[in-house]
Amino acid sequence: MKLFKGIFRLMASYGLSVILLVTLLLLVFMGTFEQTRIGLYEAQQKYFESLVVIPRLFGVIPVPVPGAYLLLSFIFINMLCGAVIKAPKRLSRPGLLIAHVGILLLVLYGVVSYHFSLTGNMPLYVGDSNNKIQSYYDWEMRITEVGEKEDGRQFIIPQKHLEECRNGHVCIFQNKALPFDVSVGPFYENSAPETGTGPLAVDGIKLKEMPPAHSVEQNIPGLLVQLSDASPIRGWLWGMEQAPLLVKYNERSFSLTLSRREWSIPFSVALEAFDHEKHPGTDLPSMFSSTVLIQEGDAVRTAIIRMNEPLRYRGYTFYQASWGPANAKEGDRLYSVLAVSRNPAIKWPVYASILISFGLLFHYAQVLLRYLKRQSIKPGEDQEMGTQ
């Protein structure tokens, strides 16, 4: 019991609050500084989505530092114990309690967003329709059975498993529904095709491993796949390859691709028109917008998505992100890239801000009223009250 009380006092202490907040401030500084070197996505994963970070002091000495995920977890526990449970429950200070509940809701929003939100993009040419979102960063290997009698069922190997097939390690994947084993290796995080010979060349073509791009979304992975008892028995898969690798086993046909991870949405989005304007005398866009048709069953809705004017529908938010092709000429077919996100806690920051604002206003209103009440008492009245 004493041990539990000691741990509770520690977790509710002001000293721990100061240490956690100062450490978080230093971590934000380190992550922001490191972002210029390794890119936004890598810095976010390394410093803000991890439990422990091990930066090297002077580039040599490893120094373990708690990551933002671990720090925010302790800040949540510290605030819950100290500002909510341990704090005195008096009518003279309900505003502070309400404000701290709002801050706790903000921390919970970060946790829910990290674990359950979805972000990706949807590139659309004018006239095209799509009901899939593709990831910016994650890739997957897809094995699809094709044919008139097949329903196009797929077998998917996610990137986290493909990344194990590096540094000379060959991974073997099996599925009872597949008539062959799939061997993968080597896997390159970023690669480019080239002609060549050697044990890794297939029909005079092989992939060259490239240094990771500064921005992770610019990486184009590739891998060598080998199949047992299939024809052809092996081939290269590259992220930018336009055609799949087609293989046959007896009378069955399969296509193999390396593509960005995709999610299906319960409605389709069609790009009806795309408009863009440029700054006079330059090729820099000043405004671009997409006119889209949202179709769900028999219901059709028309909407315009502009810069800083997103579309929200069925829990999904569509932003106007970019367009192409680059240096498009008049008459070229244009495409629009819509950034798509779905966050079940998207309204929580609004609720948290309302709680924090209301709590602080209520608290300072009480402080002001007490101050005005003290000022309204005349000095003579104070003396008389003191003599009684």
Residue 16: closest CA among 76, 65, 84: 76
Amino acid at 165: C
Q: What is the pLDDT of residue 384?
A: 52
H helices present in 233-339, as ranges: none
pLDDT higher than 70, residue 328:
no
pTM, full prediction: 0.74
Q: Specify the higher pLDDT residue, 30 or 330.
A: 30
Does position 260 have pLDDT exceeding 80, yes or no? yes
Q: E-strand spans in 37-107? A: 52-53, 56-57, 61-62, 65-66
CA 144, CA 159: separation in Å to the nearest integer? 17
Residue 84 predicted with pLDDT over 50: yes
Lowest mean pLDDT among 212-216, 245-249, 348-352: 212-216
How much is the pLDDT for 150? 60
Instruction: Name the helix (H) or strand (E) containing 334.
Output: none
pLDDT at 171: 94
Give the model's confidence band at 380: pLDDT under 50 very low, under 70 low, under 90 confident, else very high. Answer: low
Q: What is the average per-residue pLDDT within 342-368?
A: 93
Q: How far apart are CA 104 and CA 80, in angstroms?
A: 8
The predicted-structure confidence for 127-149, as pLDDT tens digits, reads as follows 899 999 999 889 999 999 987 66
Summarize the confidence of residues 257-283 as an average pLDDT.
86
- Among the ranges given (23-32, 224-233, 270-279, 377-386), the one the predictor scored with the smallest mean pLDDT: 377-386
pLDDT value at position 387?
46
Find tokens 């602080």 and name the residue. 360
Q: Is 168:184 a contact under the CB 8 Å cutoff?
A: no
Segment 147-168 shows an average pLDDT of: 85
pLDDT above 60: residue 383: no
Backbone phi, then psi, for 171, in 5-degree steps? -100, 140
Q: Residue 388: what pLDDT?
A: 44
- Mean pLDDT across the stretch 226-243? 89
Question: Looking at the predicted structure, is the pLDDT value of residue 362 above 50?
Answer: yes
Give the separation between CA 186 and CA 209, rounded to whole angstroms.
10
Element (H, E) at 47: none
Residues 329-351 have a mean pLDDT of 88
pLDDT, average across residues 197-211: 91
